[in-house]
Amino acid sequence: PIAKVAAKIALGYTLDEIKNAITGKTYASFEPTLDYCVVKMPRLPFDKFITAKRTLTTQMKATGEVMSICTNFEGALMKAIRSLEQHVDCLRSYDFSALSAEDLKERLKKVDDQRIWVIAEALRKGLDYETIHEITMVDEWFIDKIAVLVEMEEKLEKGPLTPELLREAKRLEFPDNVISRLSGMPEEQIKNLRLENGITAAYKMVDTCAAEFEASTPYYYSVYGGENEAEESRSGQLRSDGTVCPKKVLVLGSGPIRIGQGIEFDYCSVHATWAFSKAGYETVIINNNPETVSTDFDIADKLYFEPLTPEDVENVVNIEHPDGAVVQFGGQTAIKLTESLMKMGVPILGTSAENVDAAEDRELFDKILEECEIPRPSGGTVYTAEEAKAVANRLGYPVLVRPSYVLGGQGMQIAISDADIEEFMAIINRIAQDHPILVDKYLQGKEMEVDAVCDGTDILIPGLMEHVERAGVHSGDSISVYPAQTVSESVKKTIAEYTRRLAKSLHVIGLINIQFIVVGEEVYVIEVNPRSSRTVPYISKVTGIPIVDLAAAVITGKKIRDLGYEPGLQPESEYVAVKMPVFSFEKIRGAEISLGPEMKSTGECLGVAKTFNEALYKAFLGAGIDLPKHKQMIITVKDADKGEAIEIARRFEKLGYIIYATRSTAAALNEAGVKARKVNKINQESPTVMDLILGHRIDLVIDTPTQGRDKSRDGFLIRRTAIETGVNCLTSLDTARALVGSLETKMRSGQMTLVDIAQLDREKAQEHAE
């Protein structure tokens, strides 16, 4: 723990006075001895930004990373690849077989996230180490290790698959599904062959001293071959140290940080682990992300640093024999392992797998909504573009198109025509879909969100969150406000009642997240997730209600009333809390920055104050939007937005802003009495919009897109140029309205009220204790 050691050194300790927390015997001055190899691999967001340049440069683009440990580099690399959760599991996952040797030489010059796979194909085509090294400057040691994996692929293809060959393939960490694809032997048969020949995973302990001293912190990685250092045990059994093994719970982590599944889920995993430990359970975590708190060696009773795949998880299960697994805290990564865990005979603690499926299965869920008398936007399930077009035309455009069982709005789009449907279906179906694609009528209303805890009978709702941006912008990219500011009491009561009905019908034990659309006084359900969500840390902190701890408690059999809480919607806080998304568009060249139903933000910040506008102002500052500098702005909006843009522009004008606008927007503003200076489009005579942005005199660009996916259009180029020159760019008028509202308060850093969120939590805890 480098930070811990550094902190002690800062306090005046010397290295020979600081104990090694892993061994408990050696000191920090003791030089580490490592008998393993570690590979750290970046998780890049090109699955979200399909138009972005994949080139890797000195500008960081990764949103997260994975780490793997093995006794050899080849095995560690194979583990890291399948840990990425990007539909890759070996060195053939990206197919470059159609390229000739000469084409591959050219492709090797491109420095991108697929380069390892290109090197592997170059080796298959007979390029020598020296040639590959001269083009890529990758050390020949690494090229040789990739060649070892390529040779094993060829051996598995040629066959026959003998126990000896299988043993060597497993030593290099080839998973059973890859061996099956290469050898043609069914996966189940490969597994049986392994077990018959004693080819099973053993676990080594990370101890910093190559087993010279006994480690006191069980922190394991798997190997094939070698002695097993993890003791196999079941609850109730006597262990080698003479203690009785308590009940065990397996907590599945959320894997690498990516857009849509970030550190919020690690917050849930860690708090759940602590809560289970407090309840007397032995806790076992499986995760592969070195950035997280859950992979600290002192969080759980046992930590397995492993890929989150069915085979790797089953290997841990065979050693630990947990009494149950919790999947509701690890995001979609953990949820996707539910079926596999059930096949292994591991009970799912909390909400059952059948009820998780019922929330995603269109027919089952529609039936539940009908029974609960809850409306939802009409829609249908499809598999092909033709079916999607038929449903879209029946519903009437615009429609929302999305795959099921995804997080972060992956692949989700708003379609306004048959051509859009064809384009979106082609993008979605680039990856084989195990589940149907959903097509829903798109309703333009106010979006609301709820996180709640249910014990199977009663439900506790900490608070209602309102999104500033209207429906159509992904909830993770919306500004979220607690308590809800603009909906009526009757709407709040309806949302609380619908939440209660749904949680009860789905037999939720633990957490549930529901998203609603409010149109007037009508409330529609758009999505239900019987698991933790990315807003759980936010709502827990701003209400002072530890909902992950409560969820873990109800999973162990406690009732909400037993925990000292009155069920239902809790009283609102007297403070306003605003959660603001943070984006990294400037780092990813060529990415479209306009907001839509697919999530794009890479982080968030929080503003807390007595009033909405002050909290909003703090949140904007936290997100790096610091206005004004020059008090000059550009407005260019599509025709449908001009009416709303006039009101926003008028408010900016009153704040003293000089407004520039493109021809049609300027005409609309001037006609409405807002003074706007006309500026030409990109290919017209100077001064153009680009001239103004590149002149570094503009504070803000408001640009609502027409066809954001077309990179040659003015709007796309304006938005990209603004971001790349450090100019704030907003693509939603709701965000622009919120920004001008916060600026109208004329807040300055010295005038802002300081709020101690820890004090709010203490006050809440005191109220609860009373």
DSSP string, 744-764: HTT--GGGSPP--HHHHHHHH
Average pLDDT over residues 491-505: 96
Angle at 432 between CA 428 and CA 436, to 5 degrees: 70
Average pLDDT over residues 584-599: 84
Q: Which one of 201, 220, 248 terminates a domain?
A: 201
Q: Give residue 472's pLDDT.
A: 80
Q: Give residue 596's pLDDT.
A: 82
Q: Give residue 408's pLDDT.
A: 46
Q: Give residue 384's pLDDT.
A: 85
Instruction: Assign 37 to helix, strand or coil.
Output: strand
Same domain for 10 and 83, yes or no, is no
Asked if residue 726 is part of any domain, the answer here is: yes
Q: Give residue 707's pLDDT.
A: 55
Is 1's pLDDT higher than 90? no
Instruction: Assign 582 to helix, strand or coil.
Output: strand
pLDDT band at 210 (very low <50, low <70, confident <90, very high): low
Maximum C-alpha span of the chain: 86
> What secondary structure does DSSP assign to 465-528, as a single string?
EEESSPTTS-GGGS-EEES--SS-HHHHHHHHHHHHHHHHHTT-EEEEEEEEEEETTEEEEEEE
> What secondary structure does DSSP assign to 228-261, as a single string?
--SPP--TTPBPTTSPBP--EEEEE---S-BTTB
> For residue 712, with 0-12 CB atoms within 10 Å meaning exposed, 13-18 middle and 19 or more buried, which class applies?
exposed
Asked if residue 196 is part of any domain, the answer here is: yes
User: Could you give the number of structural domains in the chain?
Assistant: 3
Reported pTM: 0.89
Query: In the chain, pLDDT over 70 holds for what percent of residues?
Result: 94
Specify the CATH number for the domain of residue 690. 3.40.50.1380
> What secondary structure does DSSP assign to 169-222, as a single string?
HHHTT--HHHHHHHH---HHHHHHHHHHTT--EEEEE--SBTTSS--SS-EEEE
Asked if residue 567 is part of any domain, the answer here is: no
First to last CA, the chain: 39
Q: Give the tens place of pLDDT for each residue, 117-158.
A: 999 999 999 999 999 999 999 999 999 999 999 999 999 999
Instruction: Assign 706 to helix, strand or coil.
Output: coil
Q: Give residue 218's pLDDT.
A: 79
Is 406's pLDDT higher than 90? no
> What secondary structure does DSSP assign to 437-478, as a single string?
EEEEEPP-SEEEEEEEEEESS-EEE--EEEESSPTTS-GGGS
Same domain for 16 and 52, yes or no, is no
Q: Residue 604 belongs to what domain range?
A: 585-751
Same domain for 17 and 51, yes or no, is no
Taking 3-state DSSP, the helix, strand and coil percentages for the chain, each rounded to the nearest 5, stand at 40, 20, 40
Q: How many CB atoms lie within 10 A of CB 182?
A: 21
- Which residue do the tokens 């936010």 mark? 538
Same domain for 57 and 1, yes or no, is no
Q: Give residue 304's pLDDT.
A: 96
Same domain for 18 and 128, yes or no, is no
Same domain for 18 and 122, yes or no, is no
Asked if residue 107 is part of any domain, the answer here is: yes
Q: Give the tens place of pLDDT for each residue, 446-490.
A: 999 999 999 999 999 999 999 999 888 888 999 999 999 999 999
Average pLDDT over residues 42-55: 86
Tokens of 368: 């539940």
Same domain for 152 and 175, yes or no, is yes
Same domain for 601 and 747, yes or no, is yes
> For residue 370, with 0-12 CB atoms within 10 Å meaning exposed, 13-18 middle and 19 or more buried, which class applies?
exposed
- Indicate left, alpha or beta for 373 from its phi (over 0: left) and psi (-120 to 50: alpha): left
Average pLDDT over residues 438-446: 86
Is 409's pLDDT higher than 60? no
Q: 426 phi and psi, to 5 degrees? A: -65, -40
Judge whether 744 and 618 are in contact, CB under 8 Å. no
Average pLDDT over residues 711-726: 83
Q: Give the tens place of pLDDT for each residue, 265-296.
A: 999 999 999 999 999 999 999 999 999 999 98
